[in-house]
Amino acid sequence: MNQEKREDRKPTVEELLAKAKKPSLLAPPMHRFYEGKVQVMPKCAIRSAKDFAIWYTPGVATPCREIQANPDKSFELTNRWNYVAVVTDGTRVLGLGNIGPEAAMPVMEGKALLFKYLGGVDGFPICLRTRDPEEIIHACELIEPSFGGINLEDIEKPKCFYVLEETRKRLQIPVWHDDQQGTATVILAGLMNAFKLVGKKPKESLITLVGAGSANLRTAYVLIKWGMKTGNIILVDTKGVIHAGRKDITKEENPWKYELAQKTNEEGRTGDITQAFKGVDAVVAASKPGPDTIKKEWITTMADDGIVFACANPIPEIWPWEAEEAGARIIATGRSDFPNQVNNSLGFPAIFRGVLDVKAKTVTDDMCIAAAEELAKFAQERGIHEKDILPRMEEWEVFPREAVACALKSISQGVARVKPSRQELYEKASAIIKNARESTLLLMKNGWIKPPPPEEKLLK
C-alpha cells in the first residue's frame, strides 16, 4: 500500500524540472558519441564489383535517358519518390529562436530520424544560410528535382506562412510546414476524441486558442476547414483577445492573422486573456512555456467538462493536475511523461508516407483532416478515456493506416501521379515502415550501431 502511495503521489516541481532537464544534459554527449543521428545506406544488391556497371556507368546512362524523355520517371527509376528535404533557415528553432542554420542541424537531423523510423521516409537536413523568404522559396525550387517532398521547419512567423503558400503554388511536389500543419493535425485528432468523451459537439462548441503563432493560426484554419463555425473560435496573443477592432493587427504585416481577426470571435470579446476563458468548452495553448502561463482561476471560468491542451515544451502552460483541480476534465500536454501527449511525430511521418506512395503533387489541409480522423479512429478502436485520447508513437500500426488515409485523399483530390488500391497502399506502407524499424534493430543487435555508454559516464 505504501509503495502504491509513493507511485501515485504527485511529483514535486523540483522533480519535474530535474526530469525535464535530463534529456538536455544527455543530448550533447550522446550526439558527440554518435557524431550525428542519420546516415545513407545502400538499398540495392551489390553481389560483386561487376554490379557497379549497372548501378553506375555504363548502365546508368539508360535510365538517365528515360528520365530525360519523361521527368516523372525519376519517381520510378530513382529513390526520389521517397526523399524529403527538411528545410530551415534556423530562425525559429524549438523555442530557441534565431540560432542560425548550423545550430539548427541537430533538430533537422532529429526530424530526419523520426521520418525514417516512424514513416520509412528518407529525410535530408537542408539548413539554408539565408533569412530572405524569396531565397528560401527559390532554394526549394532549385532542389525540387531531387526530392519527392519538402518539409519546412522552424521558420519564423509571419514569413513561414508566405513561404508555405508560395512553395505550394510553385512546386509540383508536396510542401508541408510541420510547425503549422503537423501541430494542427494532431491537435484536431485530440479534440475529436476529447469532445467525444465529454459528449459535446465540437463544431457547435467554443474553442479558445492561446497563442497566435504558426501552430495556432494554422490550427484555426484547419478547424474551419473541418467544419467548425469560424465565429466560435477565439484567438489570444500577448496583447489579449484578438478581434476585428485591433488596430495593431494589420493586413500588411500579417495577412493571415488579420484575416482570422476579422472572421473569428463572433461574440466580439475584447480585453485580456481572462476574457477568452469564460464559458468556453476547450482551450488549446501553443504559447510560452509555464507553469503559470495559464492560471487555475481562469480555467474555473470555463464551461463544465472543459478541455485544456497545454502544448508548450518543456514545461506546459499549466501543470496537468492544476488544470484538473480547476475543473478541466481532459488535459493534454506536449510531454511524453504526462497523459495525452500532443506530438507532431504522430502526423508528419505517416502523412508524407501516404503522399509519397502515390507520388502526389501537393499536400493539402484536407489531407491533414484525413490523417486526424484516422488517428482519432485508431485510438477509439483500441479504447479511449480521459487519460488516453491519442495514439502513442510506439503504436506503430497507426502509421500505415494514417498513410493510407492521406494517399486516398490525394487520389480523390486528383493530385496523385499513381492510384494504387487501398490494400496495395496499406501493404506497401506497412512493409516500408517495418523495414525501417527492423533494419535499425538489426544494426543495433549486430553492433553496427554501437550501444551508448552508461548515463553516469555520459554525465561526467
Render the burial of 80-106: b for 16+ CB within 10 Å, e for the rest: bbbbbbbbbbbbbbeeeeeeebeebbb
Beta strand extents in 249-302 (DSSP E only): 282-285
Placement of cell 508566405 in the chain: 162
Q: What is the C-alpha to C-alpha distance for residues 235 and 284, in angstroms, rounded to an integer? A: 10
The one-letter code for the residue type at 94 is: L
Average pLDDT for 177-182: 91
Q: What is the C-alpha to C-alpha distance for residues 54 and 45, in angstroms, rounded to an integer? A: 11
pLDDT of residue 2: 42
State which CATH number among 3.40.50.10380, 3.10.20.740, 2.60.40.10, 3.30.2270.10 fits the domain covering 49-179. 3.40.50.10380
Q: Is 288 a catalytic residue?
A: no
* pLDDT tens sequence across 43-100: 999 999 999 999 999 999 999 999 999 999 999 999 999 999 999 999 999 878 899 9
114: which residues sit within 8 A by CB, 6+ positions away? 345, 348, 349
Nine-digit cell string for 176: 508541408
Q: What is the C-alpha to C-alpha distance for residues 10 and 8, in angstroms, rounded to an integer? A: 6
Please name which of 190, 156, 163 lies closest in space to residue 347, comparing C-alpha atoms: 190
Q: Which of 111, 257, 359, 409 is catalytic?
A: 111
173: which residues sit within 8 A by CB, 6+ positions away? 144, 147, 148, 149, 150, 360, 361, 362
Placement of cell 501516404 in the chain: 354
427: which residues sit within 8 A by CB, 6+ positions away? none
11: which residues sit within 8 A by CB, 6+ positions away? 19
* pLDDT tens sequence across 260-275: 999 999 999 999 999 9
pLDDT at 192 over 60: yes
In total, the chain counts a number of residues equal to 460
pLDDT of residue 9: 60
Please name which of 328, 353, 325, 352 lies closest in space to residue 340, comparing C-alpha atoms: 328
Rounded to the nearest integer, the mean pLDDT of the chain is 94
Q: What is the C-alpha to C-alpha distance for residues 312 and 320, in angstroms, rounded to an integer? A: 12
Burial of 399 by CB count in 10 Å (0-12 exposed, 13-18 middle, 19+ buried)?
Answer: buried
Pairing between β-strand 240-241 and β-strand 233-237 as defined by DSSP bridges: antiparallel
Quick one: pLDDT band at residue 172, thresholds 50, 70, 90? very high
pLDDT of residue 15: 79
Please name which of 104, 219, 92, 238 lies closest in space to residue 156, comparing C-alpha atoms: 92
Q: What is the C-alpha to C-alpha distance for residues 256 and 210, in angstroms, rounded to an integer? A: 16
Quick one: pLDDT band at residue 5, thresholds 50, 70, 90? very low
Q: What is the C-alpha to C-alpha distance for residues 152 and 85, in angstroms, rounded to an integer? A: 8
pLDDT of residue 336: 84
Average pLDDT for 414-434: 97
Please name which of 225, 221, 94, 189 lies closest in space to residue 379, comparing C-alpha atoms: 189
Quick one: pLDDT band at residue 440, thresholds 50, 70, 90? very high
pLDDT at 3 over 70: no
* pLDDT tens sequence across 19-37: 777 888 999 999 999 999 9
In DSSP notation, 87-110 reads EE-SSS-TTS-S--HHHHHHHHHH
The one-letter code for the residue type at 437 is: R
Nine-digit cell string for 321: 493536475
Average pLDDT for 317-340: 93
Q: Which of 10, 21, 56, 387 is catalytic?
A: 56
Domain boundaries, given as residue ranges, for the chain: 49-179
CB 219 within 8 A of CB 183: yes
pLDDT of residue 179: 87
CA contacts within 13 A on the Cβ side of 154:
29
Q: Is 56 a catalytic residue?
A: yes
The pTM of this model reads 0.92
Quick one: pLDDT band at residue 4, thresholds 50, 70, 90? very low
pLDDT at 396 over 70: yes
Nine-digit cell string for 420: 494504387
